[in-house]
Structure 1
C-alpha cells in the first residue's frame, strides 16, 4: 500500500470514513480564497467539512468520555484535497486505499497513565497523555503510506467543566515541502496565539522546540509533530447544522461505579470498570430460562434468569481482526482450572467454551476496552461465579448492544447484533 505524498497544492489525508460528506451533499467554500491554493487554504477546506462531523473526546477529572461511536472513527479512508488548476475551486478526491486507527491502543495508554502514581490528574496532563497515544497510533496507521504522519485535531475548552475537548479529524501524510510551507505561516508560539492572530489555533512542534516550552504550550505536541485547529463551528455557511450535535451525550470509557446490587469483591486485579454485582433476590429464585448476555458495546456480561439480571460483570472482548463473534451459542465445555492456551501458553482459569469455537469465557486482564484475541475475559471471581451457576448447555448471546432491564424487574431480552 502506498500513497503519493502531498505537494504545495494537494494534501493527502487519512480521514475517518464517517467524516466524509455524502456524494450528493452540497458544500459551499465561498469563504475561502480560491486564488491562493496554498496548504493553509486547503486545510481550511478540509476542516470545513470534517470538523463539524467529528465526535469529541472530553478529557476531564481523570476521565475520558466520547460522544460518538468509536468504531466509526476507526476506519480511515485516504483522500486528497486539492484545487482545480483552472477554476481554483477546492476538490476532494477519494483514493482506493484505507487503514485502521487503533483506539483500543489509545485507551490502553491512557488507562495505564491514570494508574500511574505520578499522574497529575489535570485536564492538561490528561490531554498530553491522550495526544501522545494518538500520535503513536497515527504512526502505526500510516505505515505503508508516503509522508510524515501528522495527527489532525481540533481543540476547545469546555466552559462548564473546564475540561479539554479533542476531536480527531485524521492523519495528514505530510511531505517536507508542504510541512515547511505550513510552519512558515503559523502565527505564534503557542496554541493560544492563533486565536489572537485571527486564525484557527495551530501548533506544529517538534522535539527540539518542545524542550523550551512549558506544559501548556506543549500540550498537544507530545514532543512530536501535531497540527491542531481551534474548535470549529458545527454549522455550514448557510447556518444549517451539519453532522453530530455539539453537547451530545458523552459516554465514559472509565465508568464510575454507581450501579445497584451487591458488589462481588475482586482481589485479583484493579478494575477501571464498574465492579461485578450480584442480585440476591434473583439468584435465589427458581427459573425456567437461564442465559448469559455478552454486551460488546458496554463491555459487560450478564447472567440472566427469566429476563431478570442475577449477576453482571465487566469484561474485555476481542479487538481488531480478532473480534469476538456475535450470535447465539451454548456453553459446550467447562474446565475450572488447568486449561492452558496452546498458542499463547497462558492459563485460562474458569474456562467456558462458547459453541464449537476456540473462544470461551475465562479469567483475564481487563484494561477497560476490547483487548483479547477473541475470548471474553473477566475477573477470576466473576469467571468462577458464572462457572458455578451456568451448566454446560447454557445459552450465550453475544451482541453489539443490549438495554438491560432495571434490576428486579422483568423484561424481554431485546438485543442488537450487527
Structure 2
C-alpha cells in the first residue's frame, strides 16, 4: 500500500513539473512601444536662409551643436533656424525645409528620420561647384559613415567619415570627387543616428549659376518614376533637360522610357533600348518639344538603376535649376506646407488620390484627384498641411515650389514612419536562473 502511494505521489509530481514547464514554454507576454522617430532637417550653412514648415507652433524642436538634448516648443508654424540642424518631434507629419541663398537660388527638402542607406543622384564636383554633402548625427555618440562616390569615370574609393555627437559635418563636393562633372553619392550609416543632405550650388567667378537641394532616394530598382519635371519655354524655345543615370551593380543595363504629360504619352528620342554602362554616371540630353507645364518620366530597366532629371528653370524672372528625383509609390501621410503653396503633381496609369487640406484657421476640406498618366493640384498660401489617402496602386507624386529666389522639388514620401520596439520585461529568472 505504501509503495502504491509513493508511486502515485511520484507520478503526480512528474505531471506537475511537466505541465509547469509546458506552460512556461508556451505562455509569454510581449509588450511593444509604437512611435514616430524624430526627423532631422538640412543644416543651415553659411550664407543661407532656412525656414521649416510646421503644422503647429507647439511642435517640439531642438538644435544640433549643443550639449542640451531637451526639446522645446517651436513657437511658430514656420520656424527659421540660423545655424546647425533642427531635430523635430513631428509625429506623423513630415516638415518641409525651404532653403534660400537670397536672390540667387532656392531648394526644398523633406525632413527625414535617421537612415541606414541613401543615394543622391545629382550635383557636380567640377570647377563650377560650390556644393557640399552635409552629414548630420543627431545621436549622443560619434557616428561612422561610409561615403561612396561615382562619377563619369567610374567608382571612386569609398571614404569612412566620423561625425561628432549631436553635430554635422560639411564636406565640399570638389574634395570628394575632384574635377568630376557628373556624380552620384551613396551614404551608409555604420553607427549613429545619421542623415545626409546634398546641396548642388554652382558659380563661375562672381556669377551665380544657381543651386538646389538634391533629394535622396531609396536603393536602386528596375522601375523608376520621376513625377514632376517642370517644362518651361523661353523665347519660344523649350528648356533642355538632362537625364542622369547610374547602374551601381556589376552588369550593364538596357532601359526604356516613357514621358507622361497633358500633351499625351510618348517615348523620348534616344533612350529606348539604350545600354547604360555599370558603375559610371551617364547623362542623356532630353530635348522635349512640348508646351509649358509639367511632365513625368517612367523608366524601366533590366538591372537595378538610379536616376534623376536636371532642368533649368525661370522663377519670377530669376534663373535657377532643379533636380527632379525618383519617388516610390505614394502612401498615406501628412505633409506640412505652411507658407509654401506647392504644386502637387501625381503620375500613374490610373490616378486616384484623396487630399485633406488643413487651412490656417483650422478648417479642412477634401479634394479627390482623378486622372490618367499625370494630374496636378495647386495648394493655396493658407494651407498648413495636406494629407494623402485613398491612393490608387502605382501612383506616385512630388511637389514643385517656386519663389522669387528660385525653384524647389519635394518628393511626396513620409519623413518618418511608425516603428515598433519591444519593451524589456522584468523576470524573476534574471535573479534566480
TM-score, length-scaled by structure 2: 0.25
The structure with the larger Rg is 2
Normalized per residue, which structure has more helix? 1
TM-score after normalising by structure 1? 0.26
Name the structure where strand makes up a greater proportion of residues: 2
